[in-house]
Amino acid sequence: MRIVCLHTADSNIALFDAAARAAGFEALELAHVVRADLLAAAEQAGGLTDAIAAQTRKVLLTLTDNAHAVLLNCSTLGPSVNDALAARAAPVPVLRADAALAQRAVEGGGKVVVLCTVSTTLDPTTSLFAQAATRTAADVEVRLVSGVWDRFRANDTAGYLSTIATAADAAYENGADVVAFAQTSMVGAALLVTGGVKPLTTPAIALAAAVHAATLAA
C-alpha cells in the first residue's frame, strides 16, 4: 500500500516515517511531498483563502495518480479537503490528517484541550473539532500557544517543544481529560508532558485512518 503525504514542513517527514515504524506498518510505502509555499501564502494572507485552497486541491489531485490514499498534513490548509475535492472525483481517498485526530480526541467525551502553535490554524482547527464533538459529549477548547511558532522558525526545537509541554501540563492541571496537539511539529513535546497522559498527536492516528480508508476503497 502506498500513501502519499503532503506536508508544509520538511521536518514532518521523519515524524511520519517514525510513526509508521512504531505502528508496525512495515508493508506501508510512504511518499512525501513538501509545499512550504502554500502555508507561507496562507500566513501572509492571514489565513486560508479560496485561491490557496484551490491550489492545494490541485496539488492533492496530482498526488492521487500513484497512491492508495493521500494525506494532507497541514492544519491551516485542512479545509481544502472538502466537497469540492470530492466532486472532482479523486480516484483514491484524500484525507486531512487532523480530522482523524479530532475524531479520536472527542470520542470519550470529557474536557478536550487542543493546542496549536500557528495562528492561521485556529479557525480551521476550532471548526473541525467542534464538528467532531457534535457526535459526542466532549467539551472542546482550542488554544494557541502564543509566540512559540517563532521558536520553530528559528530552529529552536528544544524551546519550541518545552513551551508546548508546559502548556499541556497547565491544561491537565486545569482539568483537561484529553490534550491533543493540532500540528505534527508538536509531536516531540508529548514526551515531555508530566501532568497527565501522553497527549494525542497526528502522525500515527492519521496513518491508521489512511490505511483504513485505502483498504475500504480497494
179-196: pLDDT as tens digits: 999 999 999 999 999 999
Q: Do 163 and 131 fall into the same domain?
A: yes
Quote the cell numbers at residue 18.
Answer: 517514525
Confidence (pLDDT) at 142: 97
Q: Do 139 and 175 fall into the same domain?
A: yes
CA angle 67, 34, 92 (to 5 degrees): 20
Q: Do 69 and 144 fall into the same domain?
A: no
Quote the cell numbers at residue 160.
Answer: 519550541
Q: Do 90 and 147 fall into the same domain?
A: no
Number of structural domains in the chain: 2
Closest alpha carbon to 98 in 191, 201, 216, 2: 201
Confidence (pLDDT) at 218: 75
Local confidence band at 91 (pLDDT 50, 70, 90 cut-offs): confident
**Span 66-79, mean pLDDT?**
94
Closest alpha carbon to 31 in 171, 193, 210: 210
Q: Do 58 and 129 fall into the same domain?
A: no
Q: Do 190 and 211 fall into the same domain?
A: no
Local confidence band at 85 (pLDDT 50, 70, 90 cut-offs): low
Local confidence band at 155 (pLDDT 50, 70, 90 cut-offs): very high
Q: Domain of 78? A: 2-96+203-217
Q: Is the pLDDT of residue 36 over 60?
A: yes
Q: Do 85 and 123 fall into the same domain?
A: no
CATH of the domain at 141: 3.40.50.1860
Q: What is the pTM of this model?
A: 0.91
